[in-house]
Structure 1
């Protein structure tokens, strides 16, 4: 039997904090009830009194990361509110790149996570979005933030990293790729993120006013 931990008594918050710490250091593959129990100095069975299973632990990690978001602040418009939230979510996700697969594949489940969903839906509904369009706006915004962060921040193992030799391409057959490759040396991914974000907000504004293709069908 393992010695009982002499630190803070076991709790859901402590278990999830430990799981997040392991994930940040070692990656998602390292997360298991046994591994977290070992880190805490307790038997894995002890964790089940606070976290039902591994799925609940992943949902809890999702929640724990979202707790790092600032409290929603009053904004002059729905666009500024969503712009601010998208930037904040991107910053939090960039701080936990190993957690990106969780956000790409799992919905918000716990009440604490759903509170963030509720706050964004409330902003959109107050702005005049229908329930269906509000949900669509939330979904595409979250997908964009998570997807862009995966593309620019997702950890890669050395043997998985791709290093295209653009300079070896034929200028005759790939003139635009060669041109773009020269830009990459000084490329600003944050400006790219902002460009996509503004384009999305403009599209959502059109949808809100009913000028876009029908999202209600």
Structure 2
């Protein structure tokens, strides 16, 4: 309940506006009592990150690893679009903690994807490379998509709606000229295009190791 309430505050406002006092007010509890569950705000943010990533599903038993990675990517985007204020937290907050000291829930997607890929006969190091390539792409894509913010939706042209008219035309002619394309950005379509390129590249550069031969006893 506490983490769900903290996530609601972040969704409505921002990570910066989350505090023990606001959380206590929302829950109808003394903020001091919340410190029994989280030592400080950093620990609370760890919990929120774990709570969100706990909703990311990975079927390690899927025999088609490419299909499963695509499902994971779509699921991650769904979570990112449902909680756009949490995206920077998902990307940057874990970096402040050594891998082995992070909340277990934030590492389970990694463990499950490694399980998926090693079942597909990738070596451990190649499975890790695939994970890093996938989530490097997903983090960048999610950050790009949540930053596609309209400045003034009531304006008549895409240049004005996106606030690109603030940019000097002499310095940013190409960016200003792409106003219509920027306004027409479709995150779902761009995700699929990026996954097509990423998975094709992984197929071309990484191959599963040969399964071990089974000899009769």
- Scaled to the shorter chain, the TM-score interval is 0.7 to 0.9
CA distance in 2, matches of 1:73, 1:124: 8
Residues paired across the two proteins, number: 192
Give the direction of change, closer, same or farther, for the CA distance of 1:165–1:154 in structure 2 (3 Å limit). closer
- Cα drift, residue 65 of structure 1: 1.2
Q: Which of 144, 149, 160 is the aligned partner of 2:142?
A: 149
Extract unaligned runs of 5+ from structure 2.
153-160, 209-217
Q: What are the equivalent positions in structure 2 for 1:40-189 lying under 5 Å apart?
A: 40-70=27-57, 72=59, 74-107=61-94, 109-154=102-147, 158=151, 163-165=163-165, 178=177, 181=179, 183-184=181-182, 186-189=184-187
- What is the alpha-carbon root mean square deviation over aligned residues? 3.2
- Cα drift, residue 89 of structure 1: 0.7
Q: Is the Cα–Cα contact under 8 Å of residues 36 and 44 in structure 1 kept in the other structure?
A: yes
Say whether 1:196 aligns with 2:189: no
CA distance in 2, matches of 1:103, 1:60: 11
- Partner secondary structure for residue 52 of structure 2: helix
When normalised by structure 2's length, the TM-score is 0.74
- Cα drift, residue 125 of structure 1: 1.6
Say whether 1:38 aligns with 2:12: no
Q: Is the Cα–Cα contact under 8 Å of residues 74 and 81 in structure 1 kept in the other structure?
A: no
Partner of 2:214: none
- Cα drift, residue 21 of structure 1: 0.8
Answer with 100-109 or 197-206: which moved more.
100-109
- Partner secondary structure for residue 152 of structure 1: helix
Extract unaligned runs of 5+ from structure 1.
1-13, 211-217
CA distance in 1, matches of 2:176, 2:7: 40
- Partner secondary structure for residue 125 of structure 1: helix
When normalised by structure 1's length, the TM-score is 0.74
Q: Is the Cα–Cα contact under 8 Å of residues 78 and 123 in structure 1 kept in the other structure?
A: yes
**TM-superposition CA deviations, 1:89-145 (whole Å, max 9, x none):** 111111000001111103382223322221111112222332222222212211211
Q: Is the Cα–Cα contact under 8 Å of residues 62 and 116 in structure 2 kept in the other structure?
A: no
- Cα drift, residue 202 of structure 1: 1.6
Give the direction of change, closer, same or farther, for the CA distance of 1:182–1:131 in structure 2 (3 Å limit). same
Give the direction of change, closer, same or farther, for the CA distance of 1:176–1:201 in structure 2 (3 Å limit). same
- Cα drift, residue 59 of structure 1: 1.2
Give the direction of change, closer, same or farther, for the CA distance of 1:187–1:106 in structure 2 (3 Å limit). closer
Q: Is the Cα–Cα contact under 8 Å of residues 63 and 120 in structure 2 kept in the other structure?
A: no
